[in-house]
Every structure is written in structure tokens, then in C-alpha cells.
Amino acid sequence: MREYNISLDAKKLPTAWYNITPDLPTPMAPPLHPQTMKPLAPDDLAAIFPMNLIEQEMSAAPAIDIPGEVMDVYRLFRPTPLRRAYRLEDALDTPARIYYKNESVAPSGSHKINTAIAQAYYNKEEGIRAMSTETGAGQWGTALSIACQFFGIECNVYMVRVSYEQKPYRRTLIQTYGGKVFPSPGETTESGRAFLSTNPDTTGSLGMAISEAVEVAAKSGGKVKYGLGSVLNHVLLHQTVIGLEAIQQMEQAEAYPDIVIGCCGGGSNFAGLAFPYYGDAKHRGKSIDFIAVEPASCPTLTRGHYAYDFGDTARTTPLLKQYTLGHNFMPPGIHAGGLRYHGVAQQIALLVNEGAMRAVSCLQNPMFEACLLFARTEGIVPAPETGHAIRVAVDEALKCKESGEAKTILFNLSGHGHFDMTAYEAYLSGKLTDHALDAAVLEAAEAAIPKVTVES
């Protein structure tokens, strides 16, 4: 009898997050202050983050305990299922064994709530009553609005304008959970007004939305703090519950992955699954092919530059050593809004640069082709972001069909696509456009990357 779902006893839920920092092959380059260009000090972040999160951001401890109140909320939906994709394997006629960690069962419909709960908790502990944030596709805005509601905090969400218009039900969902949603760029912030004065018809970007959300927190006199859904170390840290659970579940299935795959924008869901396996493989002396998948229209890891750059368009955030397309980069309005980001987490960037992980990109139409195959075999409609991971999982399984290798493939099903029907409608009606960037666009974006020399 086939065992489709590998469950995990709730008593075995991880009680500490895994910190990859001490396991990195080389030390990370220090973040830089946006004005002085000198290494960032903890106090430099105090205007936008609570101190506990700042400490986690800069921690080199191998593990950080999960607070009891956070554990209590995690238990509403964690552990999430691990599933063997037998029906997908049959459809592909592949000897590969395909598993996926199903984060779509979370209340927010995606993995984003794992860090939202932690961030809302730490803000509550510091006495904060309001948070501001950005959101691309709306999954992070949904997650933070839920978490803020649980901990009695007001949530203000700046949603990238193209997604605000493409995904009205995502917007409504955020409002249902108590969040206030603003199209970005908009007239409510100084940076938003500046963006609109330059380009009134802009579709927006995550870089712009970050600028607006950070401005609200920075100008609040400590009354509002900023919540970030990806990129920074503490965000990726909180997501490692995904991989820590998956390691136990795969052991129950008597399997170990040869390949670990996740879609990658800022990097949080890829890191959530891949980082614990990176540490596990390193300490066990095993080898895993880690693949981060991004859109061909926003090819940060595959065509970007490894350099210091700002995380936002208005140049207000610290500079991180990362792969970047330039903080002024304006990606096309693809439906995978959560992957439309010019940069990436510095830890992932370092691992890719060191050759410990790799990245590939894919176009919209082949990605949705894989989404439909997955929906029709496994019964789950994936988010367009998640579809990028599915596309490469299918490609790797087909390679196994050609070679005859029975590799074990594990990917992160980071979210469902129940609110992405306009994207599926466009694909099914043949109206979806593939966007591949030409060199001229990338060269123009590169010009905005600051030339930084770090003092020794």
C-alpha cells in the first residue's frame, strides 16, 4: 500500500530554529549603514526592529530557542505534512522519488506565517502596537495580518500596485484578518509620492513598497515597527521549522534527498527547507544538489551581480552583499508577485557564490504547464511562486527518466494558488506572456548598483 502522507507527531515539533551562520563556508560580509557605508551596529536598526529580532539578525549561535507563545501558535497548524507525489511520478513515468513539504495548509495559505508569528510576538514583547510592511503577491501581508491579530497589533500593508490590481481577493483576505492595505506606490508616504511624480503609471515593485513601509516605521518615533517577509537573517531563521520537520519526516520514510528545490525571490521559503538540510548534510558528510528557482523575468541569482546594494528603491535600508539586479530594477508584472524582487538574502547569495547551492530560472508558460500537471495529479493548485519549484522538480524527474537514476527529489510547496485564478485563466486562455530580459535592461539596472569599498 502506498503511503502518500508522512505525518509527524506534534510532540516532535522543533523547539529551536536552526541558524546557518556558523555553518557557512565563509563569513558573511557585514551589512552597511545606508548613509555612512560603514558596518552596521545593532543600534542602527533599533528604529525599525525590536531588539530581540536585531539580536537574532546578528547572532552566530547555532540554534535559537522558539518562545513558548510562538510554539502555541505554531501548534495550530504545525507540523505540516510531507507528501510522496506518487501520482506525479506515475504521470512522468520516472524512477525518481518526489516528495514535497506542504506549507499551503497554514492559515495564511503559505509558509510566510512561520516568521510572521515570531515577528509579531517579539514586537508585542517590546510593547509595540502597530507594524508596517510590504507585500508582493499578498501572501506575506496575509500572514502578518493574521499574526498581528493574534497578538493585538495593528497591521499596515503596502501592496505592490500590480498585485493590488491583479489579486483583489488577496487584498480582501488581508482586510478580513484586520490588516489595512495600501497600493504601492501611493500618496500616503513621502517616498510613494516621489515615485509617482517620476512615473505616475508605475506598476510598483517590492523595492518601492519596502521604502514606503520602512518610512512609516522610521518616522513614527518608535510607535511603529517594520516587519519583513524575506531576505534578512532572522526571517530565514524562523522558516527553518520547515526543513527541521522535513528531516524527521524523510527519516520516517527511510529516504534522504539527492536534490532539494525551492522557488526563490528574497529567499525565505527556499532557505526554510534548504538550510537545515545544508547543515545536516555537512555534518553527516552527505551531498545534496540545492536548486533555487527564480523567474526569467527577474533573474537575480542567475544574471545579477554579486555586490553590495540597497534592499529598497529609495535607498533607506542597509546595504547587503547579495546578488542584485540593481535597486532601481523594475520587473515585468508577472503573476508570481512574491518573486519580483531585485535582490536576495545574503546567506543564499554567499552559498551560491561559493558553489554550495545553484540557481536556475524559468519562464511563465512552462511554469504554469507544470502547475496544471501538479494540480491534475496531486490535487493541489499551487501558487505561481511555488510553480517555479514544481517546474524544476518535474525537469529533474524527467532527467532521471532519461538516465534511469532513481534520485530522491524534495521540494517546498510554499503556498496554494486559490487566489491566483486570474493567472490560471490567462494561461488557460493562451494570453500569458513570457518575459525574458535582454542585456540592455540588465545593464541599465547595473548602473544603479553603488560602488562600495568596505574598510578593513
Q: What is the pLDDT of residues 261-274, one digit of tens each?
A: 999 999 999 999 99
CATH code: domain 79-109+240-446 is 3.40.50.1100
Contact 268, 239 (CB under 8 A): yes
- Average pLDDT along the chain: 92
Q: What is the pLDDT of residues 192-211, one digit of tens each?
A: 999 999 999 898 887 889 88
| pLDDT score, position 349 | 97
Grid cell at residue 278: 545544508
CATH fold, domain 25-66+111-233, is: Rossmann fold (3.40.50)
Contact 135, 208 (CB under 8 A): no
Contact 212, 192 (CB under 8 A): yes
pLDDT above 60: residue 335: no
| pLDDT score, position 304 | 92
Q: Where are the domains of the chain?
A: 25-66+111-233, 79-109+240-446
Torsion angle (degrees, nearest 10) of CA 151, 157, 163, 167:
50
Count the residues in the chain. 456
| Pairing assessment for the beta strands 224-226 and 305-310 based on DSSP bridges | unpaired
| pLDDT score, position 329 | 81
Grid cell at residue 184: 504601492
Q: How confident is the model at residue 455 (pLDDT cuts 50, 70, 90)?
A: low
Task: Please check whether the two domains, 25-66+111-233 and 79-109+240-446, share a CATH topology.
Answer: yes
| pLDDT score, position 336 | 61
| pLDDT score, position 334 | 62
| pLDDT score, position 281 | 96
| pLDDT score, position 438 | 75
pTM of the model: 0.92
Half-sphere exposure (CA, 13 Å, Cβ side) for 302? 18
pLDDT above 80: residue 404: yes
Contact 392, 362 (CB under 8 A): yes
